[in-house]
Structure 1
Amino acid sequence: MLTGTDLALFRRLATEQSAARVPSIVAGVVRDGRLVWSGARGRVGDTTPDSDTQYRLGSITKSLVAAVVMRLRDEGKVDLNDPLDKHVPGTTFGSSTVGQLLSHTGGLTSESPGSWWERSQGGDWQALDASLTADAIKNRPGSRFHYSNVGYGVLGELVARHRGTDWFSAVRDEILVPLGMSRTTPHPEGRHAQGFAVHPFADLLLPEPSPDAGAMAPAGQLWSTVNDLARWTAFVGGDTGDVLRPETVAEMRNVATVDDGDAWTSGYGLGLQLIRHQGRRLAGHTGSMPGFLACTITDPASGTGALVMANTTSGPAILTVAIDLITIADEAEPRVPAEWRPSEVDSSLLALTGLWHWGPTPFLLKLIPGGMFELTPVNGAGRASRFRPVATDEWLGLDGYYAGETLRVARAADGNPSHLDLATFIFTRTPYDQAAPIPGGVDELGWRS
């Protein structure tokens, strides 16, 4: 970042630390998959924290657990429409689906029964399960968004049963290690911030406890650093490495439910919070535990993300700070588009490109990087989707109207493509080609004046 941008970013962080009376706060800006700025204000002990100082993540933990669940889905071990009972039988809420638990629409109670779990030593899965009696369902599954920490405790158990290990070992081995997040741990290791409550009417601090949450730990146990959380922020933005396909992470960022009605500004995907702000569509997660606040948020469209962590129970508007950091970075230093360069393509696919018609409406089929196709209306308005290859002459829709639908190529006797079949819609080289199997047939007299 340029000197002026650096100052503007630091000033925003320093202003929040001072105005909200935060013992310490750290932040970073991520662009195109890497940490391009970091800053800190306040003290951890007698010194300023740095990008390797651990803070507690709180509910950002949920997003990492969700990533393992999506790996199970991609492996065919779990379907998001599966009832929980198929994977964790015997609960009182077994009809809630895996997808509903991921998106907080499963109807489960928000907190585990008994003592406030965030400040209490947690029990094992058997104890948590036994505490969740029939009244653990507070809403009809699928009927509404109702944030549930319990739901992610349950998903942690689902992960553990499929992987034959505890939930954190699965997250560590499948997410943290491949992404190089070596300083993300269930308990603080090395230099870390103490969590504090700040007295509302005096400049005094009260240390907060940080017990092991037991079976509820998948809802908010993890600690991390600016360096590690920057890598996760890049992951949510699409730099997924070998952990998940980019289209799977894009699916996690899709809106599964909204929290504030038709003109929504806040929603939830699959393990990710979603924010609409001044034309931006942001994805990430906030987190809070006694003594800590955290946030990671990214704008996949601009490639810029931000993260903020603080060691205070309440006070700073941490999501607002993160959004402001993205805005400052993008306004001060607009992203320069990547240089276009020719790429290698399968020349046999060129015969499929060009003009196709759905009825009288012309569409363009273009090859895009990754051996994928993009189908768009010529006039720019209407149903557009991207497709990735899944088999010979078959592509799977990734987004838009045709998400999840299969595009199939039909070939003539000579091997040349004759038409496309997309979810029963027939696309032909010329409008209503009589040689193609147009549903309902084509008038034998053809086009006329």
Structure 2
Amino acid sequence: MLQTTEFALLRRVAAEQAERRAPSLAAAVVRGQDLLWTGARGAVDGAAPTTDTQYRIGSITKTFVAVLVLRLRDEGRLDLNDPLDKHVTGTSFGHLTVAQLLSHTAGLTSESPGSWWERSVGDDWPALMESMSGEPARHRAGERFHYSNVGYGVLGQLVAELRGMSWLSALTDEILSPLEMTRTSPMPAAPHALGWAVHPYADVLMPEPTPDAGAMAPAGQLWSTVADLARWVRFIGGDTGEVLHPDTMAEMRFPAAVEDGAAWTTGYGLGLQVWRADGRQYAGHTGSMPGFLATVAVDATTTTGALALTNTTAGVGVSALTFDLIKLVDDYEPALPAEWSPQSSVPAGLLALTGEWFWGPTPVVLRLLGDGWLDLRPANGAGRASRFRPVREDEWLGLDGYYAGETLRLHRHADGSPRHLDLATFIFTRTPYDPAAPIPGGLDKGTWPIEG
């Protein structure tokens, strides 16, 4: 990167560390598959932290648990609308759905009953469920967003029961090993930072405990490094390798609930926080445990993302820092558009589908994209537009916009030539109100006034 860009990034990190009195602060910026920049201030064991220094990442753990759940869904082992008790029996809230637990819309209490779990040695699953045997609901299921750490303890148990192993073993086998995230673990392994509380009125430190959270561990147990989390930022941005289909990751990033109402600056998808700031939308997660703060975030549109890790209980604005790092890079060194090049060939018959079609009297344009994808949008550029991915012969699946999830089907004449397109009962024909096509064409009684 340009020296001016690197200095601006380091200056932002240095200011945060100094002004907010962080014992240490490490950060990184990624774009696409590249780790563009790393920087650190402060000290761990008397030296500057490196990309291999572990920090506790708190609730970023939830993103890993959510990916394990979505992998089960993609395998057909569960449906997101399944009630919990279809897979995990013996709870007092078995009617809640998997999707509600993932998106914090189940209405469950935010914390497990008893001693504050983040500073206490955790109990096992039966003890957690016993503590939740009373009235764990705080809101009607589906009513609103209500962040629930205990909900992710439940999802960790869901993974364990369907996989026949602990959620940590599933995490290692299905995510960490394939992505070569060898420095992400449930307990710290040297070199690692110690967690500190910074006195609010004096420059002195007090050590914070880091107990095993037991059944609540899926809510915030993991430790990781700048190097490993840079890979995870890429993952959230869509570089999912063989671990998860990119469409599933896009589904996880889609907002399921808004946290702050009409302002809509923060919300939640399926295991991911989503934010809107400066005309951008980010996805990722924050993390907070005694002695540690962390954030990972990525703008999936530009694939530019960032992360920040610090070993203090409070006071450092890691989320704002992360967003600023992304914005600095995209402002100083915006990504170049992908170079256009012609296709060597196109699938047989698809070229004949391109061009102008009509929904009633309204012209739309169908364009052919790479890999047999289609783009359908109004001819005037305003209105419902979607891209479609081929799923089988003469069928495409809507990926975005109004028609996301809907199927576009091509109907042909007896000789095989294109007749009309059917998109969720919307019929598109080559001429306005084609009398030979279904409604809005020939099945009504209107005709154009044509002489002769």
Partner of 1:74: 74
TM-score, L = length of structure 2: 0.96
Partner of 1:399: 400
Partner of 2:310: 310
Partner of 1:364: 365
Partner of 1:236: 236
CA distance in 2, matches of 1:117, 1:18: 31
Please state whether the residue corresponding to 1:305 is helix, strand or coil: strand
CA distance in 2, matches of 1:172, 1:378: 50
Partner of 2:286: 286
Give the letter for the 1:121 counterpart.
Answer: V
Give the letter for the 2:363 counterpart.
Answer: P
Please state whether the residue corresponding to 2:81 is helix, strand or coil: coil
Partner of 1:8: 8
Moved more, 172-181 or 47-56: 172-181
1:347 partnered with 2:348: yes
Q: CA deviation at 1:411?
A: 1.6
Partner of 1:376: 377
Partner of 1:169: 169
Cα root mean square deviation, aligned: 1.5
CA distance in 2, matches of 1:240, 1:380: 32
Partner of 2:295: 295
TM-score, L = length of structure 1: 0.97
Partner of 2:202: 202
Partner of 1:38: 38
Moved more, 258-267 or 350-359: 350-359
CA distance in 2, matches of 1:112, 1:444: 65
Q: CA deviation at 1:89?
A: 2.0
Q: CA deviation at 1:434?
A: 1.4
Give the letter for the 2:435 counterpart.
Answer: Q
Give deviations 1:275-315, integer Å, cap 9, x for gaps.
Answer: 11010111110000111000001111222111000001011
Aligned length: 449
Paired residues of 1:93 and 1:134 also in contact (CA < 8 A): no
CA distance in 2, matches of 1:351, 1:40: 56
Paired residues of 1:33 and 1:235 also in contact (CA < 8 A): no
Give deviations 1:89-117, integer Å, cap 9, x for gaps.
Answer: 22111111111111100010000011111
CA separation of 1:227 and 1:141: change in aligned 2, threshold 3 A: same
CA distance in 2, matches of 1:216, 1:365: 51
Q: CA deviation at 1:442?
A: 4.8
CA distance in 2, matches of 1:270, 1:443: 44
Partner of 1:420: 421
Partner of 1:259: 259
CA separation of 1:131 and 1:411: change in aligned 2, threshold 3 A: same
Partner of 2:118: 118
1:334 partnered with 2:334: yes
CA distance in 1, matches of 2:52, 2:221: 18
Paired residues of 1:432 and 1:442 also in contact (CA < 8 A): no
Q: CA deviation at 1:352?
A: 2.6
Q: CA deviation at 1:376?
A: 1.4
Q: CA deviation at 1:180?
A: 2.0
Contiguous gaps of at least 5 residues in structure 2: none
Please state whether the residue corresponding to 2:261 is helix, strand or coil: coil
Q: How does 1:138-177 map to 2 (within 5 A)?
A: 138-177=138-177
Q: How does 1:41-52 map to 2 (within 5 A)?
A: 41-52=41-52
CA distance in 2, matches of 1:443, 1:81: 40
Partner of 1:435: 436
Q: CA deviation at 1:439?
A: 4.8
Partner of 1:214: 214
